[in-house]
Amino acid sequence: MARKMTLWLVWVGFIAYVLFFAPPLHLDQTLTLLKNILTFQLTEINPIILSLFSLVGIWIFIYSGVLFIDGRIQKIPFWPFAIASLGSGVLGLLPYLATRQSNQEFSGQKNALLHFLDSRLYGIMLTLSTLIILGYSLAFGNWGDFVEQFLGDRFINGMSLALVLFYLLFPTVVGDDMARRHWYQPQVFLAVVFVPLLGSLAYLCLRPPLFSSTNREKILMAN
Mean pLDDT for the stretch of residues 35-43: 92
Please report the pLDDT score of residue 164 as a whole number. 97
Comparing CA positions, the residue from 216, 207, 169 lying closest to residue 188 is: 207
Q: Predicted confidence band at 129 (pLDDT cuts at 50, 70, 90)?
A: very high
Amino acid at the residue 2: A
Mean pLDDT, the chain, whole residue set? 92
Supply φ then ψ for residue 105, to 5 degrees.
Answer: -125, 160
3-class DSSP assignment, residue 188 = helix
pLDDT, tens digit (0-9, with 9 covering 90-100), for 144-189? 999 999 999 999 999 999 999 999 999 999 999 999 999 988 999 9
b/e code 157-184 from CB counts within 10 Å (16+ = b): bbbbbbbebbbebbbebbebbbebbeee
Q: What pTM was computed for the model? A: 0.92
93-122 burial: b if 16+ Cβ within 10 Å, else e: bbbbbbebeeeeebeeebeeebeebbeeeb
Q: Are 136 and 47 in contact (CB under 8 A)?
A: yes
pLDDT value of residue 213: 56
Domain spans, the chain: 2-222
Q: What is the pLDDT of residue 207?
A: 95
For CA atoms 18, 92, 164, 155, give the dihedral sign. Answer: negative
In 79-141, the DSSP E strands lie at none
DSSP 8-class letter at 151: H
**Separation of alpha carbons 30 and 8, rounded Å:** 28
Element (H, E) at 11: helix 2-16
pLDDT at position 25 is: 95
Distance CA 41, CA 108 (A): 45
Chain centroid to Cα 72, Å, comes to 18
